[in-house]
Amino acid sequence: QQQVRQSPQSLTVWEGETAILNCSYEDSTFNYFPWYQQFPGEGPALLISIRSVSDKKEDGRFTIFFNKREKKLSLHITDSQPGDSATYFCAASFMDSNYQLIWGSGTKLIIKP
Amino acid sequence: GPKVLQIPSHQIIDMGQMVTLNCDPVSNHLYFYWYKQILGQQMEFLVNFYNGKVMEKSKLFKDQFSVERPDGSYFTLKIQPTALEDSAVYFCASSPGTFNNQAPLFGEGTRLSVL
């Protein structure tokens, strides 16, 4: 049973457009959601994160929108650049826990110049 | 910025042999993790470690797996004996405390190929 789901599996957008990556979860007790960016052959790098008490978190061109009632969140990447081409993972956890992150299966993003 | 280092980057061994994967976590971090990833797919939690003890492990953390961090040196994942299905990229991560502070930082991974 997959507790964190991501869609689409892959996404292609043109340079300068906004890419929207979706994530949903099942466990209503999750309260912390980091997004990781992974380039081929590298480890995942923390990109941006949000706590469930917030409905929006912005960092430069990256914004998380969070809907607690529907247990959904999305990552928006504005003014997409070819260097943003990577796989993006949504993860979930309990913020006061030092335990495991539950990961989605990732969205492979391709930005066409 | 701070980095988690993993050694080696690639390891090739014969099935049945023992392998030790090494991780040098961020110096002031207290919690350590191992994750397994196959072919760029979903990251799967194996184990976390704090204060010299395993805190939690998943069903992927078979009896053949063990972790330790002797005397504050490398945090290691040992697999003995290895099996073909152990071929994957293993990522080490560390965090300073609970996720209240910061989500875990990940290393570059060790690609393990079991022949």
pLDDT at site A100: 76
Residue B100: which pLDDT band, with cuts at 50, 70 and 90?
Answer: low
Q: What number of other Cβ atoms are within 10 A of residue A92's Cβ?
A: 24
pLDDT of residue A96: 63
Interface test with A, best of B41, B90, B99 (most A CBs within 10 A): B99
Write out the CATH class of domain B16-51+66-84+101-109.
mainly beta
* Nearest-Cα residue of chain B relative to residue A33: B103
Shortest CB distance from B109 goes to which of A43, A94, A96? A43
Q: Is the pLDDT assigned to residue B101 strictly greater than 80?
A: no
- Per-residue confidence band for B63, with pLDDT thresholds at 50, 70 and 90: very high
pLDDT at residue B111 in the model:
96
Which helix or strand (DSSP H or E) is residue B77 part of? strand B75-79
Q: Is the pLDDT assigned to residue B74 strictly greater than 90?
A: yes
Tens digit of each residue's pLDDT (9 = 90 or more) over A74-103? 999 999 999 999 999 999 987 666 667 889
Check CB contact under 8 Å for A96 and B98: yes
pLDDT band, residue B73 (cuts 50/70/90): confident
Domain-by-domain residue ranges, chain B?
Answer: 16-51+66-84+101-109
Read off the pLDDT of residues A53-73 as tens digits, 9 standing for 90 and up.
999 999 999 999 999 999 999
> What residues of B are in contact with residue A94 (Cβ under 8 Å)?
99
Residue A97: the pLDDT is: 63
List, as one string, the DSSP characters of B1-57: ----EEE-SEEEE-TT--EEEEEE--TT--EEEEEEESTT--EEEEEEEETTEEEEE
Distances (CA, A) of B51 to A30, B77, B82: 25, 16, 27
Distance in Å, alpha carbon of B37 to nearest chain A alpha carbon: 10
Residue B28 has a pLDDT of 86
Question: Most B CBs within 10 Å: which of A29, A89, A99, as the mutation test of the B interface?
Answer: A99
Mean pLDDT over B43-52 rounds to 91
Neighbours of B86 (CB within 10 A): 19
Q: What is the reported pLDDT for B98?
A: 64
Element (H, E) at A88: strand A86-92
Which residues of B are less than 8 Å from A104 in CB distance?
42
Average pLDDT over residues A102-108: 94
* Nearest residue of chain A to residue B30 (CA atoms): A98
pLDDT confidence of B8, banded at 50, 70, 90? Answer: very high
Give the SS3 label for residue B61.
Answer: coil
From A93, A98, A101, residue closest to B97, measured CB to CB: A98
- On whether the A9-112 domain is CATH 2.60.40.10, my answer is yes
Banded pLDDT at A1 (limits 50, 70, 90) = low
Q: Which residues does A contribute to its contact with B (CB < 8 Å)?
A: 32, 34, 36, 38, 40-46, 49, 87, 89, 91, 93-106
- Contact assignment for B99 to A45 by CB distance below 8 Å: no
Report which of residues A41 and B111 the model is more confident about: B111
Strand, coil or helix: what is B86? helix
- The whole-number pLDDT of residue B97 equals 77
